[in-house]
Amino acid sequence: MKNSAWWFIGLGGMLMVSAGCAEETGTDADGQNGGEAEVETEVDVEGDEEVVNIGYTGPLSGPAAYYGENTLNGMRMAAEEINEEGFEIDGVTYKVNVIAYDDMYLPNEAGTNARRLVQENDTSVVFVPHSGGVFATQVFNEEEEFLIAAYTSEPDVLEQGNELTLRIPPAYTMYPDFFIDYQMENFGERLALLPTATQYGKDWTETIVPEWEGAGGEIVFDGEIDFSQDTDFYNIVSNALNSDPDVLFVGGASEPTALVIDQAKELGFEGGFMVMDQAKLEEMEAVLGGYERLEGAVGVLPQLKSDAAGAEAFNTGYQEQYDRIPTSESAFNYQAMYVLVEAMKASGSVDDAQAIMAAMDEGVKALDEEDIVWYLEGVEDQGFDWLGGAAAVENGEIVILEE
């Protein structure tokens, strides 16, 4: 990815669709996880209009449900807007039906859901918002001829030789150099590891450790947290702080990550936090009741700071429709839906996954300015090429840093 322009912002101690009317829940009608579609749009078609199904499998229950809902909400919001007029290919008008299943953040469930979406609903594209689910689905998606729209920053998903995988967010490998420079300059060289125990967390850790050590730093504690099992973080955070770190490496879904940071603050930690890109500062601020509890954290730049042409309308509309803070999860998946439709139009097909993938860069270039909510330049090596950005909580005020 081109990375010539970077924004670093210091945030201070203050720093689908009603085309559908489906219920958003974490369980199905009989109270059991999985099984039936958690969200399915109710699409209003007229005359000869046709419906194209787009699949989603992600966490809609459990500790990562809020994250999963954010990714799905972005898709649904875009689908609702697209369906106001539909889109045309060879004289046929299509409308979008988003069909979503809960996989509880489990790779095997994601694979099962993806296969079901393809076989039962003829989906040519399935959105999967976690690396474990992407890897599980890559085992068979080329054979079954559907495209994986992978919302994961794990770079290895594009190292599998799978030609029908599109990575939506930037790879997390764009962040470590900036995070490390900031933390070492402001806090020190002793790092304690407290990431999520998921595959994503393990891969992020494998990336950050050699870069931290290569910059002259030391790993003083090596731990991980299973947010699907652990809700009390006192013992592991205490053990980490007993190693006298200057910086904690944390991450996973926003809410539990915020609670880990809060526990560290409660125990008197005054150092820095490197926050993996899944957790969002703006969501953690809402959990903790203010940016004061995030002092010293560095993470992804909030979507609310985007000045792209369509950002203000998206941010306002998202808050009004879902009563939530818009994040990159919602914004990037919203924009990805618009790109997908433009790629379908450019390819002349709603069901030829190879042709749609080949037209993805053309789809980016065809976006209307008002549909651009974050700066997206094109598709490079099967991944969206975004302008990167990060933020830090520092001294009660916003400070813009540049590369």
d(CA 336, CA 346): 15
d(CA 68, CA 70): 5
Q: What is the DSSP string of 164-201?
A: TEEE-SPPGGGSHHHHHHHHHHHT-SEEEEEEBSSHHH
Contact call for residues 27 and 33 (beta carbons, < 8 A): yes
Enumerate the H helices of 122-253 as residue ranges.
Answer: 131-138, 141-144, 176-186, 199-214, 234-241
Q: Given this model, what pLDDT does residue 7 score?
A: 40
Which residues lie across from 92 on neighbouring strands? 89
Question: Which tokens sit at 259?
Answer: 């609670």
> In this structure, is the dihedral angle defined by the CA atoms of residues 32, 35, 39 and 42, taken in order, positive or negative?
negative
pTM for the model stands at: 0.82
Q: Given this model, what pLDDT does residue 304 score?
A: 87
Scan for tokens 């976006």, then name that residue. 367
3-state secondary structure of 102: strand
pLDDT beneath 70, residues of the chain:
1-39, 41, 396-403
Domains and CATH numbers, the chain: 16-171+307-387 (3.40.50.2300), 173-302+389-402 (3.40.50.2300)
3-state secondary structure of 225: strand
Per-residue pLDDT of 40-94, as tens digits, reads 767 888 889 999 999 999 999 988 898 999 999 999 999 999 999 999 999 999 9
Which residues lie across from 379 on neighbouring strands? 384
Q: Given this model, what pLDDT does residue 366 score?
A: 96
Q: Given this model, what pLDDT does residue 192 score?
A: 98
> In this structure, is the dihedral angle defined by the CA atoms of residues 81, 52, 108 and 60, taken in order, positive or negative?
positive
Q: Given this model, what pLDDT does residue 399 score?
A: 62
Cβ neighbours around 143 below 10 Å, total: 8
